[in-house]
Structure 1
Amino acid sequence: MASPLLRQVLVDEMLRANSLHPSLPATQPPPAPPIGILEPAKKNRLAQEGLLIHLLSGHTSQSAGAPHMEDANNPDPGEAHMNTESQEIVPAEGDDEDFDSDAALRSNDSDDDAPEAKSFQGIYESGCDIYTWSGSDHRFDIRGKLDFEFRFKPLSNTTMEDDAATQADISHRLALIYITDFFTNGVDFCMYVKGQANIARLMGGTFGAKPYNGPFFATPVEMHERDEILGGNSLTSMLDRVSRTETKGMRFKYLYDTCYLAWERLDYDADKDARLRRAASEEARRMTEPGEMSTPRSPPPEEGGSANQREDSAERHGNEAGTG
Structure 2
Amino acid sequence: MTHSSSSAPAAVAGRSAPRLLRFVAIGACLPYLGLKVAWIAGSHLGIPAGSPLLEHRLPLALANGLTVLMDACVVVLALLLTRPWGRRVPAWLLAVPMWTATGLLAPIMVGFPLQLLVRSGVPGGSGGGDDRAFLDDWVFGVVYGGFIVQGLALGTLFAGYAQRRWGRLWRGRAGELPAPATAPAQRLTALTALLLALVPGGLRLLWAAGSTAGLDGSTDRLLEVVHLLFLVAAGTGAWQLAFRRGRALPVTVPLVLAWAGSGATACWGGWMTLSTLVMAGDPAGGPTPAMSLTYAVQMIVGFLVATLVARYFADRSAEEPR
Q: Specify which structure has the higher proportion of helix.
A: 2
Q: Specify which structure has the higher proportion of strand.
A: 1
**TM-score by shorter chain over 0.5:** no
TM bracket, shorter-chain basis: under 0.3
Normalising by structure 1, we get a TM-score of 0.23
Give the greater-gyration-radius structure (CA): 1
